């Protein structure tokens, strides 16, 4: 067995996979392999949106509804999207499930009413 480097054609991430020299394994990027939404586009839209909101909160934007809540537990609030739906997350706990197209506005409303 040897270790081989692979570069994801979607996100550019370089990762290592161990397999035999003659094997041709199916590899899945550990960064974007489960992502079912345009994560970079969503993160960009979230950054633009929060720029005008004067709060000291940590916001997570996750691409996987399976691992997203646990991985976002260090954030005050976050969203995770996938397959036409998304989750609103607070401190790693799922608060609400919404349609994917409502995800950004749901986050925005939560942030606008954060101190209430």
75-98 pLDDT, tens per residue? 999 999 877 889 999 988 999 999
Q: Is the pLDDT of residue 47 over 90?
A: yes
What pLDDT shows up at residue 88? 96
Secondary structure string (H, E, C) spanning 50-94: HCCCCCCCCEEEECCCCCHHHHCCCCCEEEEEECCEEEEEECCEE
Q: Are 62 and 82 in contact (CB under 8 A)?
A: no
What is the pTM for the complete model shown? 0.71
What pLDDT shows up at residue 33? 63
Other beta carbons less than 10 A from residue 106's beta carbon: 18
What pLDDT shows up at residue 95? 94
Residue 34: which pLDDT band, with cuts at 50, 70 and 90?
Answer: low
Residue 5: which pLDDT band, with cuts at 50, 70 and 90?
Answer: confident
CB neighbour class for 5 (10 Å; exposed up to 12, middle 13-18, buried from 19): exposed
What pLDDT shows up at residue 26? 72
Q: Is the pLDDT of residue 10 over 80?
A: no
Quote the mean pLDDT of the chain. Answer: 86
Distance, in Å, from the CA atom of 35 to the CA atom of 82, rounded to the nearest integer, reads 7
What's the rounded mean pLDDT across residues 97-108?
A: 94
Cα angle 45-77-61, degrees, rounded to a multiple of 5 = 40
**Alpha-carbon distance values, 54 to 39, 94, 111 (Å):** 24, 24, 9
């Amino acid at each position: 067995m040897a270790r081989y480097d692979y570069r994801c054609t979607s996100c550019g991430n370089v990762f290592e996979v161990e397999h035999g020299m003659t094997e041709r394994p199916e590899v899945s990027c550990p960064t974007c392999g489960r992502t079912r939404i345009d994560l970079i586009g969503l993160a960009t839209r979230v950054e633009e949106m929060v720029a005008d909101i004067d709060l000291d909160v940590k916001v997570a934007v996750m691409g996987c509804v399976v691992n997203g809540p646990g991985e976002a537990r260090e954030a005050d609030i976050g969203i995770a999207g996938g397959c036409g739906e998304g989750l609103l997350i607070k401190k790693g706990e799922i608060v609400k499930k919404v349609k994917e197209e409502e995800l950004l506005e749901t986050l925005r409303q939560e942030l606008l009413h954060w101190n209430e």
